[in-house]
Amino acid sequence: MCQLLGMNANTPTDVMFSFAGLATRADEHKDGFGIAFFEDPGLRLFVDHHSARVSPVADLVKRFPIRSGNVIAHIRKATQGRVALQNTHPFVRELWGRYWVFAHNGDLKGFAPRLHGGFRPVGDTDSELAFCWLMQELAKAHADVPPISELRHTLAELLPIPAAYGTFNCLLSNGQALWAHCSTQLHWLARRHPFGAAHLADDDLSVDFGALTTPGDRVALVATQPLTRDEAWTAFAPGELRVFVGGQPG
């Protein structure tokens, strides 16, 4: 299946180190990659249907320190839908005057909801279909963007529905927070003062965050599998939904 990476921080932060760790796993997950950076109400989206190991677009992301408070990245191992740009995660839609970004790790069998609003898939993946359905149901449940706590409650009711059709690990953000839902495998990590050094689990690369941060910085990461070998990653429980705001788990 695919691999996910999410980041939420209380101050704009780059993810070059974490994305480099994710990209090392793209030999197996070679059917495309994408990454979305929120910047206030704006969004930078980079996608390529080539592997993150060889894509010049991925190389740009590894080298260019784009700073954001919320980031979602994905490397694809296709299960449904051909290898094509329109099937590359993360997917983006607008709702309530905000961008929403979604990425999925898993495989849904027989999930065929009726779509009747303005949310339609462009590609032919189960992931984009589930995202369009989720946006449709959120739009039905709320007339305008609700508080984060209320959105968490609504998502807790909605996300188990597609999850009943298979594996549904996913990340969702509207630039205000990062929601993460675990079906089978997902991990999270909170970095805060005092910051130390970290080493990638799959590459001989390390960074000393203490030299790059201030005492007030807080950064939360979510990944399919831990990206570093010397930090205290916490596994999600199956069915667990977490929301990250200001670099802290909720």
- As annotated, the active-site residues are 2
If one counts every other C-beta atom within 10 angstroms of the C-beta of residue 128, the result is: 25
The set of residues, in sequence order, having a beta carbon less than 8 Å from that of 208 and lying 6+ positions away, is 195, 196, 197
Q: Which residue is listed with tokens 């930078």?
A: 44
Name the amino acid, one letter, at 76. Answer: R
Separation CA 122–CA 124 (nearest Å): 7
SS (H, E, C) 182-219: CCCCCEEEEEECCCCEEEECCCCCEEEHHHCCCCCCEE
Q: Is the peptide bond before 90 cis (omega within 30 degrees of 0)?
A: yes
If one counts every other C-beta atom within 10 angstroms of the C-beta of residue 84, the result is: 14
Q: Which residue is listed with tokens 């630039």?
A: 175
Q: Which residue is listed with tokens 């691999």?
A: 3
What's the start-to-end Cα distance of the chain, in Å? 27
